[in-house]
Chains A and B, each alone.
Chain A
């Protein structure tokens, strides 16, 4: 508990001194609020089609304009926040669970377990992410859930490596001996110590990973593996608009900007957090 609080303090300090990170944090909070308050914020239901109003440029009635089928783009972007955040959070949850487990096993047991796991992780990273997602989606079928699983699998090696590095460095330390002396079982010690030690880098990776997940989802939609209609995902909205960029630029601009800010927000926040916890970072005065 105490450790948690000290971590939070460190993080908050990061935001106060690093303006970019603070900006990122603000963006993320805005996104979360938008997702939560979507039904209140959105002027129209996201799937309401008024075909007579299709392809209209931004106006008072439709602040972001309408799309090909006459749906209000602002409402769709707002509801799309839910999908992006869901994809981001859930896929990272999957990646973290698998990755941490793999990293723990590899780091703890070492030897052959380590080799197999790590080579498997290498192999996974060798694969271009988009391709992997494509293949996974092709087998499982295109749907939001499967996209989440696909991104989760892609990002697993990042967490695995992180945990393993931490596990390896901890394995040799003295306080393991101490804990053993008290009588705690080995694996419990391992998990507790390793996890606590890597908590900060994990959080950093989670933040960066969410940004990454949002990008991958957009890429998948571009390749034709969008979410199930009528769910309004930013990536699919971009894909729909790809022939309209000259004639109806608003159709691509607004979802594109949404993706842009989301990714920047999570990345800035993640970078800021990483700086805050970097042990090398003695305050360098200039």
Chain B
């Protein structure tokens, strides 16, 4: 087991390096760089050349990468060119907001998907299952920014019940914090409810048709006991392991929702950085998200191995 973990970690490092090289290069190939973003339309050619030299962007990409990589290996992720603030502190500032949004969205998604998934797993062809599945698919099929804007209009403009955007830490002010979180979490949560439902449902289906359940039924237990005692527990187990994947997606992929709600999470930080071609920030965030995601993947794989004794990794 330890060997397995060690090997995976080494692989992770390789992939991260590969990834960072690709992102680094791609960024510098895309037309427009930090100098363009700073100088805007009216500066002449000479200004661009000068500024680019100041930024170190005129050097060969290879050399730029080496100097960035060596800094990173020592823990220095560089600074945002425009605000001159360290990339790490910029990311750190956004993490709490992103985590709150991720967790709330996941909670809402689970509230929807667990009942729907279980019902459609137990009675796959019933009307309830059909309607429930359809509704959960609705969340997937409605474009998230449309839903977000609709929610803002309904709850903040036509009725002043909730603030339209922004974030307040629930640790500082629980009520306001909660109010700021509801709409974006609803938007995001409804979006991922469908894939989550799908997963729970297939998990339930698998379990319901397994030998394990047949044995339980053969033992003479009532259907209710069969489901609640045995089926549910096993199905939930697999859900727990997949939660990791969804968390990874939510942390980095909530860009559209964040921008509609002007939510100061990592998504909007990245969007702004791309818009301004703030290379240091972009690279830092991508590395960060990839690291988290790969880490979560690793945890998931490990937990699979622990929970299911049939799976063994050489």
Contacts and interface: CB of A to CB of B under 8 A. Distances in A.
A and B touch in the complex (CB under 8 A): yes
B225 interface: no
13 contacts: A19-B130, A139-B29, A219-B143, A222-B256, A238-B143, A245-B146, A245-B153, A246-B153, A262-B141, A264-B138, A264-B141, A280-B209, A284-B208
A260 B144 CA distance: 11
Contacts, number: 127
Contacts of A19: 130
A262 B146 CA distance: 16
A207 to B, nearest CB: 13
Contacts of A134: 274
Contact of A130 (B27, B140, B255, B290): B255
B124 A123 contact: no
A17 B149 contact: no
Given A128-B249, A259-B143, A278 B205 contact: yes
A131 B270 contact: yes
Given A252-B146, A259-B141, A128 B252 contact: yes
Given A126-B293, A129-B253, A281-B205, A267 B140 contact: yes
Nearest to B252: A128
Interface in A232-269: 235, 238, 242, 245-246, 252, 256, 259-264, 267-268
B165 interface: no
Interface stretch (B12-20, B35-43, B102-110, B226-234): B12-20
A123 B253 contact: no
Nearest to A18: B125
Interface in B131-159: 133-134, 137-138, 140-146, 149-150, 153
B236 interface: no
Interface of A: 17-20, 115, 119-120, 122-123, 125-131, 134-135, 138-139, 211, 215, 218-219, 222-223, 235, 238, 242, 245-246, 252, 256, 259-264, 267-268, 271, 274-275, 278, 280-282, 284, 286
Interface of B: 11-12, 14-15, 18-19, 23, 26-27, 29-31, 123-126, 130, 133-134, 137-138, 140-146, 149-150, 153, 194, 198, 202, 205-206, 208-210, 248-249, 252-253, 255-256, 267, 270-271, 274, 286, 289-290, 293-294, 297
Contacts of B271: 223
A256 B143 contact: yes
A134 B138 CA distance: 25
Contacts of A246: 153
B128 to A, nearest CB: 12
A256 B146 contact: yes
